[in-house]
Every structure is written in structure tokens, then in C-alpha cells.
Chain A
Amino acid sequence: MLFNSFSFALFLPIVFILYWFIINKTHKVQNVLLLAASYFFYGCWDWRFLFLLIFSTFLDFFTGLKIYHSTSPLNRKIWLIISVTVNLGFLVFFKYFNFFASSFAELLQSCGFKPDFATLTIILPVGISFYTFHGLSYVFDIYNKKIEPTTRWIDYSLFVSFFPLLIAGPIERATHLLPQVEVARKFNYNKAVDGLRQILWGLFNKIVIADNCAEYANNIFNNSANYSGSTLLVGAILFAFQIYGDFSGYSNIALGVARLFGFELLRNFAFPYFSRSISEFWRRWHISLSSWFKDYLYIPLGGSKGTTLNKIRNTFAIFLVSGFWHGANWTFIFWGGLNALFIMPSVFKKSSKTNLEIVAKGKLLPSAKDAMNILLTFLLTVFAWIFFRAESVTYAFHYIAHIFSVTIFQKPEQLPIWLVIFIGIFMLIEWLGREQQYAIAATGLKWKRPFRWLFYFCIAFSIFYYAGSEQQFIYFQF
């Protein structure tokens, strides 16, 4: 059941009406309904993996309690190791088994051996990377005595399995979401309207921007040998907008849906393509994952403290692991490593904590220096996205080599003007709304109702006009 599907358009209002009209009594009843809806939502993908989700939830709930109630540090550590090993064991098995098996076989082959490895046909349980990280953060926070475990199974299960965030995040923290789960939600008109507005903007990002860019980007990436360097550059730029529209669209829908039920989820995107440096970009792109790795990997490794060598090691560690988290392919690891490389100048200059505010705050236009930095950062991210999109590292290098051939000066064979105009309008709205939580959070709020509604109608109409067959969200595969 995709967020952009007809079935979800039926599912959401039914759950909403049941939630606020029929059983809106105590938080316990509200949670039971949301948990049942979440399991139904997940079961629609593949009901067999529902058992894995429930087992994983039970494991973390149980080990969380054990860690909390253990008096000896050794016992606490043992329960933590059990939780981490089992959680990561499932993740490694379902997501990385074939990658490790085939890489090991290749290694042996290069040493002259003739291994006879069989790879297994393993279906990746949807959302496993996300709910595993939810559970791990809960156990880590209990171990680090940041939170006390909940004793209510239903509350904890809802924290892990709440349907808007179950498939592709945002990766929530128990410190943020669990307190919201443990109290009754009351209907708030402004919050609900804001939720709908964010869903609308999320659908626009996905259906109008991402899916249209995907059509051209896929064609160019799949047939790169047939196109000029300029077309390949266009393809890479279109992919940059595709992945942004796709994932920020998903996140906006998830946050909007959660808000309809009275929850505030972690923000996942903060206008990353207006970043002035790669370090700023990573504070604005997939924020919930970046902060997860920062809190549970980067800081425990020493963070930005210690020698320059330590900082370099720690930076590469989180980017390589982050790349690997995305998928079992060397392209993702290369993409992570490339981003670590891009961030090195700010590590050496100790400038990674600059540009904390959004660019040109309170102004209409950025300074020339900021504009140049935004452009440079965008081009570097586009360059890195080529590895993310490519089927193999070799293919990515061929693609890049083809871009930098003499054909880069030819007129691109694939450059749909109407799509360029749409992307232009999209980025303009994003720019004007960059100081808000999402681009249209405050657009038209002071306008008279007919004009405001006309604005929303234009967005809704473009979604209707461009909606075709349901397109999978890219991050569902992770």
C-alpha cells in the first residue's frame, strides 16, 4: 500500500474517522487502533514479515526491560549485546547475505581459488532498516540511561510500527516519540490542517517532480552509451531532483499523516539543495538517519574530538556505514566515501559547524558568495548521486567519463522544457518557504480563503494531472 495509491486514499480516512470519532476515548484504545492499522498496513506488503516485525519489537521491548532492571554492568552489557546481535543479525541476513557471499567468492577467485558458493533468493522485508534502527535507538538510550523503558507493550509496539514511519522513516527516537504515544491525543484543528497541507506538498514532490524526473533520468541512465555528455549531465541533475522529490515527498506525507493523528515526527529534510557546504547538506538531508549515526556511532567513536586523524577516521566511518546502510552494493559504499571526501575540507578547517542557519535568512536573495557555494555544493552532490544511481562502480566511472567528453558541448537530446519549468517553480516555492518546516507551511496563510484554496487547488490539480500508475518510493528498497 503506497502513500500515492488509491488503496491508501481509502485506508487513511477510514482510520482517521475510527480514530477521532468512534474510539477516541483513552490513549490505550487510540494506540490499539493505530497498532492494528499499522500491522494491517504492513501486512498488505507481505504478511509473512509481520511476524519478523513483531518478534523484533518484542526482542527490544524485553531486552530494554532487562537492561533497565539489571543491577550488574556485565548483565546490562550482555542484554545489550543480545539485542544488537539479533537485530543486526536479521538485517545482515536479509539485506547483506548475498553481498557478503558474492564478495567473498570474488575475493577467493582473485586469489586463484574456485569457490562454489550459492547465493540465496532472499526477499528484503520492507522497512527492516528503519524499524531495526528504531528498536536499536530505544535499547541504546536505555543502556545509556537517557530513558526509562516503557512497561506497556502496545505503546512500545506503536512506537516501532506506527504506519506513517514504518516503511521509510523518519527514524524516530524513543525520547521524542514515546512520550507522545504514552498520552491521549486530542484533536487540534490547526495541526490537522497543517498535516493535510504537508501531505499535499509531499504528493506534489513525489508525483509531479520525482516521477516525471524519473521517466527521463531512468531512460538516460539505462541508455547512457547512446547519449551525449550534456544529456548524461542532464540525467544526473534530473536524478538529483528525482531522489529529493521522492524521499522528501515521502517524508512530508509521513509527517503530515502523523500530524493528522496528533503526532509530531522528526523532521527529515530542511531544504538540502540550498546548502552552502557538504557538511551543511548532511545536516539538512535525511536528518533522522544522519543524527542517528551521529549519536550512536560518530560520538561513541570520539566524534570531532581528538587528533585530526581520529576525526578523519570517524567521518569516514559514519559515511561508509551510512552508504552501506542504503544497500548491499559497492556503489553505495563508494557514494558514502565520496561524501566523506567532500566533507574533509571542513574537517581540516574545523568549519563543519558553520552555516547553521538557513541561507539568506530574512532576505529575498542570497549573496553572490552564498549563491556560488550553493551551486558548487549542488554540483558535488549531483556528482556523488551518479554513484548512488549507477548499477556498478565501473558503470558510474564510464558515465562520468562520458559526461566529460567533447559531447558535453552538444545540445542535450533529452531536455523537456516543461519539466525544467516545473522544477523551476518547485525550487522557487522551496526557496520562498525555506524558513518554514516545509515549503508551503506558511504560503497563503494571510491570503483570503478563495485565493488560498485556489493555490491548493493548483497543486492538487497538477497532482491529479500527472498521477499515472503508482510509482514505488526509492527509499522503500532500503
Chain B
Amino acid sequence: MTVVKNKESTKINNNKFKDKIIQLSHGDGGIKTGELINDLILKYLGNKILNRLEDSAVLKCSDKKIAFTTDSFVVNPIFFPGGDIGKLSICGTINDLATTGCIPAALSLSFILEESFPVSDFIKILSSIKRILNDTGLHIVTGDTKVVEKGNADKIYINTSGIGVIPDNLEISPLKIKAGDKILINGGIAEHGTAILSIRKEFNFKTGITTDCAPLSSLVKDMTAASKNIHALRDATRGGLASILYELAGTSGTNINIYENKIPVKKEVRGICEFLGLDPLYIANEGKMVVFTDKKDVDAVLKAMRKNRYGKDSCIIGEVTEKGKGNVTLTTSIGTKRVLDLPFSEQLPRIC
């Protein structure tokens, strides 16, 4: 897919953005909005397409299959160990695109800002977004910014959409999952969720846990180069690894078994979970791809994953056992087998 090149982009000025907090006037479409966009947003995210500030980006694609996704981010806290809402919003959409095996082509980015949101925080978020864009070579091609009265939004909300082209000979879908497929993951689980928990003031933990939030498009590219027999990909986010397995088993009409001993969990993550009585299998991730691959290619896929910077700790965690009702079972660390169920609601810290 390519973006249609029209006239040259508007030249970006050299003005410095002076305001310290976001005001309603930054969202009213007038001079102040112009300042916000030209003197701040484009300074961080500008590129030839975005700088044109047209209402729509025009994209060209022939008869290719297109992947298209959107997501909104309203998280609190907006800053957490290893990341922020900006990084989350870009990686989240890139990863959703990546699950189709597509080559991500372009992203949109919209902000809803609360009046009096500190500009210094906004700059941190823009910088964070910029770093991911640089890392992946992707661009924001269109966007929007609104400002609402204080109290009508919680600091900042972000929406991102993404579009990508799926290579001709690639079809990745849970409907392709079959008995015998191996299940892999690219590293330790529950890091994002425990990173968020670790900074809750009342818990008073001191840990080195950081979010695993990461853009996984390059990981998927490496995997699909190594094998055309990857059947399904899913990024495990809210609800944790268990939720994804449950979802995919149901969609594909298969039964799955995973091995407790093989699921990587960092020691500190386990530490927090032990304190609070939580199960890592149900805790959020933001940089984990669950991979279902034909067993004949598992070694090649695993090798390719481990070569990628976001897959160094990749491992096989289980397999698809047979066609079935969508049951997910776990072989426990002592060798017995039990059902792995879907959580009905968020886990709460407990003492009992």
C-alpha cells in the first residue's frame, strides 16, 4: 500500500510551543489549535503526509487484502514503569495488525485532552510515540485533537487505527488451528499488569518490573519468513494468556493443553502475584504474541522468534490436542491435569 503523493507538504515552522497546560482554546479549531498542532504535535510526529494536514490521508492499494484495526486507550495511570499511554496506544494497534501477518502501512492517532493537562506530560507521551514510530519505521498519516472541559476526561484519551497489507500467500486465522499444532509465546507473562500494580501507592512495592509493552510487527515478520504454516496469532492483553487460549480454542473448535512448568513467568512477577494472591495466567500483557503453528515448523518458528529482540525468551507452552468443545486444560507442575477456566471478572487482591 502506498500513500498518494500530492502537492508538497506545508513547511514546518520553527516556533516553540509556549503554553504549560492544555486549554480549551487548544481544541477550538482556531489559532491556538494551530499552535498545538504545528508547534507541538508535528514537531514530534510530523512527516511528509501528516504535515499536509489534510482531512484524509489517501492510500493506494491494488487487489491486496487489507488489515484494518482500531483501538482506544483510556488507561490510568498514564505513566508506568517502562512505558506510558502513548507507547501503549501505538504498540497496541501495531500488534493487532501483526496478528494478521500483514505488513503495517500507516496509522492514525487521535487525542482527547482534558483542559489543564500538563504540556510536559503531553510532550513525554509524544516522545514515547515517536520512539516506537522510529523503531518500526511507521508513520502517523492522519489524526485529530480535541480538548474537553476539566472533569470531562481523565487527563488524556487516545484512539489509534492502523492499516496494513497482507502478503498474498499468507493466511493467518484461528479457523486454521488444528490438532497437533504447537503453541508458543515470546516471553514472560503478566509483566504489564504487575508493573501497573507495583506502583499503586497503597501497596508500596519496590520492584524492577517494567511493562512488556512492545511493537511486535518485526517479530511476526521474522516468524512468517521462517514458516508459511503459522495458523494463528493473537496478542495477549487484558484477561491474560488464559483468556486468549480460551478464546482461540472456542473459535477454532479445538481443545488445548498447556504446561504450567513451561510458561515463563519472571521471578518478580511471581513475587507480586504471591503477595496479592493473583494468578499470572489472568494478568494483562502488552508485548506478548501467542503463536499457533503447524508442528512440522515449530523449530524453525521458535528459532526465528528467538533471534528477534522481542522474542529472546520464546518457548513452546503447549499444543492443540484434538477437535473439541474449546476446552483448555493445564498440566500442573506436579504432572496432574486440570481445567483452565475463563475468569468471570477481574482478579482482586486478596488475603484469604
Q: Do A and B bind each other?
A: no
The chain B residues found within 8 Å of chain A, CB to CB, are none
The chain A residues found within 8 Å of chain B, CB to CB, are none
